[in-house]
Amino acid sequence: MTENHEKGRNQALNVLEVLEAKSREEKGKSPRLLSCLSDFPCGYTEGWFMVLPACFRQALDIRKDERVVQGEEGRIKTLVWTQDFHFDFHRGDTIFDHVSAITASTWEDALLHVRWVFQVAQDPSFFPGHVVADIFILSEGKKALLPLGRETWPAFDFVRCLVQGPSPELMEKWRFQGGLRPD
C-alpha cells in the first residue's frame, strides 16, 4: 500500500470513529466536522477497499458549508468541505473495488481488475440507519459479475466496510455460501 493510500484509509477510519462518537453523544447538535472521510484527491476515494467517485459526497454526508476564517485582511466568509454522519445511500448506488470501473474505456477492461461490487438494494426509508446491499464478485473467467448475496449493515458498518473491506466474519459467511475463492 502506498503512503497516500495508507493516509487516505487512516483519515477515513479516524473521521469515522469521531462521527460514531458524535452520533451517540450529541445526535447531530454539534457543528459539522472540518475533517472529511475523503478529500477525493483524484476524483475518487484513495486507500479505501471500495472506490467511491466524488459523486458519492452527498451519500457520505460531505458538503460545502460557509465558514468565517481569518484572512490577511480580516475575517472573511468562505466555503469549506464539512462532514457529518447522516449517510444517505440510495437504491441503485453501485460501488466497485477498483478504479478501473470508473476510468476504463470499456467494461471488458474494467472487469480485468474489478473483484467486488456492492449495489445498494433499498432506499434509506426502508430500514433507517442501515444500508441493504447486494454483493457481487467477479467470475473466474473475468467476464461477468456473479451475485453472492444480500447484506444489511448499520450505516457506520457499511461505510467501515467500504473503507477497510469486509470483516473476517463476513468473509467467512460469504465463503460458506460458496461464492468466494481463495486469493
Structural domain count of the chain: 1
Any domain includes 181 = no
**Closest-CA residue to 160 (of 6, 3, 20):** 20
Cell numbers found for residue 153: 449493515
pLDDT of residue 172: 86
* The pLDDT of residue 116 is above 50: yes
**Residue 108, SS3 per DSSP:** helix
Any domain includes 92 = yes
Cell numbers found for residue 24: 451517540
Average pLDDT over residues 110-133: 93
Any domain includes 67 = yes
Q: What is the pLDDT of residues 7-49, one digit of tens each?
A: 999 999 999 999 999 988 866 577 899 999 999 999 999 999 9
Distances (CA, A) of 91 to 15, 58, 59, 85: 25, 14, 11, 19
Any domain includes 129 = yes
Any domain includes 62 = yes
* The pLDDT of residue 182 is above 50: no
pLDDT of residue 173: 84
Q: What is the pLDDT of residues 165-179, one digit of tens each?
A: 999 998 888 776 655
Backbone angles phi, psi at 102, to 5 degrees: -95, -35
Any domain includes 156 = yes
Cα–Cα dist 131/162, whole Å: 12
pLDDT of residue 24: 85
Any domain includes 161 = yes
* Cβ–Cβ < 8 Å for 135, 116: yes
**Domain range for 114:** 3-165
Question: What average pLDDT is seen over the chain?
Answer: 90
Average pLDDT over residues 50-78: 93
Report the run of H or E that residue 13 belongs to, with start and end.
helix 3-25
- How many CA within 13 A on the CB side of residue 147? 7
Any domain includes 179 = no
pLDDT of residue 183: 46
Q: Quote the distance between the C-alpha of residue 118 and its chain's center.
A: 10
Count H helices, E strands: the chain?
Answer: 5, 6
* Cβ–Cβ < 8 Å for 180, 137: yes
